């Protein structure tokens, strides 16, 4: 499986999980931070798709876009995983998971900006 296809698979799973978390937050886990996790998953899934496709199309700098896309995935998993664990079990994922994930997402967005500023092989 290529890196682009793997990113698209992961982004699809992120989006699906975001919808599931939104439903759970509206019903079974109302009043928890699960709705924040749903929002973050739903926001970052299409971003991962856009970065993966932009890199593949050659409009984003290849290595920078790859790093940024995987950092978006890792940051979202840490952040949302911690919020979901707190909602489901009352305990966090691991120490500092949410703040670390949040900082990683911020860094990833800066990486996306850099990948666009540098540009890819198409020179758009």
Q: Domain ranges for the chain, please list them.
A: 3-118
Cα 2 to its chain centre, rounded Å, is 19
Burial bucket for residue 107 (CB in 10 Å: 0-12, 13-18, 19+): middle
Of 72, 50, 52, the C-alpha closest to 62 is 52
Q: Of 13-17, 28-32, 82-86, 102-106, where does mean pLDDT reach its minimum?
A: 28-32
pTM for this model (two decimals): 0.93
CA distance 24 to 27: 5
pLDDT digits (tens, 9 = 90+) for 1-43: 899 999 999 999 999 999 999 999 999 999 899 999 999 999 9
């Amino acid at each position: 499986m290529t890196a682009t296809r793997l990113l698209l698979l992961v982004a699809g799973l992120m989006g699906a999980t975001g919808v599931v978390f939104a439903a759970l937050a509206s019903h079974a886990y109302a009043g928890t931070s699960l709705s924040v996790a749903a929002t973050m998953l739903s926001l970052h899934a299409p971003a991962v798709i856009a970065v993966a496709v932009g890199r593949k199309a050659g409009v984003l700098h290849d290595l920078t876009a790859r790093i940024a896309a995987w950092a978006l995935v890792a940051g979202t998993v840490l952040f949302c995983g911690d919020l979901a664990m707190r909602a489901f079990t009352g305990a966090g994922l691991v120490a500092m998971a949410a703040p670390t994930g949040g900082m990683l997402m911020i860094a990833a967005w800066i990486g996306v900006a850099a990948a666009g500023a540098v540009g890819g092989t198409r020179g758009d």
